[in-house]
A = this chain, B = another copy of it.
Amino acid sequence: MKKSIGIIGYGNLGRGVALALQKSPDMSLAAVFTRRDPASISPLGGALSLPLADVASWRDKIDVMVLCGGSATDLPTQTVEYAGLFNVVDSFDTHARIPEHFSAVDKAARESGHLALISAGWDPGMFSLNRLYANAILPEGSDYTFWGRGVSQGHSDAIRRIPGVRDAKQYTVPVENALQAVRSGQRPQLETRQKHTRECFVVLEDGADAYDVERAIKTMPNYFADYDTTVHFISQEELNANHSGLAHGGMVFRSGVTGEQGEHTHIIEYRLTLDSNPEFTGSVLTACARAVCRMAAQGHRGCLTLFDVPPATLSIMTGEELRRHLL
């Protein structure tokens, strides 16, 4: 009996989950729930497209609901609300606010008797898992996380809010020298500026002053002021043609030591090179939906993260198959 999966929010990420479900013979997409006109959406695989307002009537027909909204405004309320009705999975990625999100979702899920898994994806998600494993193995050492080369939605949005900017994309780019220093085992102390550069492609409004816009970008606190930033002004046509890709990736390192005097260095590197950030993230969320089905059936309630999930629970293979083929 296939598990019945729902999706709330059918943008790039929701579509990534729907694609991943097509490769998961143990699960099927029952319905997509949307705030848009449901008739405007044709979910993959012939699943239903329904108004979000009707979601509560599906509470007994969905095994896991995958929440595919954004972390800024959607998930902080949606995951809490829908954990009252369903087992849920989300990709909440505002690192600093994970503890409070976890608490709120945990409370809602326990009260309603459901299981929630939050902050799945690649960072947080697979990168977090690698930080955890590597820290557990090498307690004496340093962590390094690099992102890119890939588009940062948050930084692109920040540029678009500047007066005179019509459109923009911002690439986060890891600094090659910093990567080499980490890989060499030196355990360098790296300032923000030494780890990443920021490359911006900006389309100006007619009559906007390029100098003013460039200065506004480069001096923007938090987003750009602490980085070496390059700004390229291009046409809308060029932005659409060359900068609409969804590729991303990054690397997590643990550089640690063992031995009586810390004389042996070990480098653990985990690297992702992704053609499509939302399709990869959707694939992680889909494996998490499988784990939530299984762990809910075992009696787990409340909120989890990938830290709490036995890895085998994510896989369609049996324990025996996993030991035979992947161990």
Contacts and interface: CB of A to CB of B under 8 A. Distances in A.
A151 to B, nearest CB: 15
A260 interface: yes
Contacts of A95: 327
B273 A311 contact: no
Nearest to A281: B137
Nearest to A22: B260
Contact of A258 (B98, B183, B259, B279): B279
A322 B132 contact: yes
A270 B272 contact: no
A170 interface: no
Interface residues of A, number: 70
A264 B279 contact: yes
Interface stretch (A220-228, A229-237, A312-320): A312-320
Most-contacted residue by chain B among A279, A310, A323, A327 (CB, 10 A): A327
A273 B307 CA distance: 24
A19 B138 CA distance: 11
B259 A265 contact: no
A58 interface: no
A102 B323 CA distance: 9
A86 interface: no
Given A128-B326, A132-B314, A269-B271, 6 more contacts: A128-B327, A258-B280, A264-B274, A308-B310, A308-B312, A310-B310
Number of copies: 2
A259 B183 CA distance: 33
A205 to B, nearest CB: 33
A156 to B, nearest CB: 20
B316 A136 contact: yes
A274 to B, nearest CB: 5
Given A307-B311, A326-B132, A24 B139 contact: yes
A268 B136 CA distance: 21
A137 to B, nearest CB: 5
Interface string A123-134: 010101111110
A108 B274 CA distance: 45
A209 interface: no
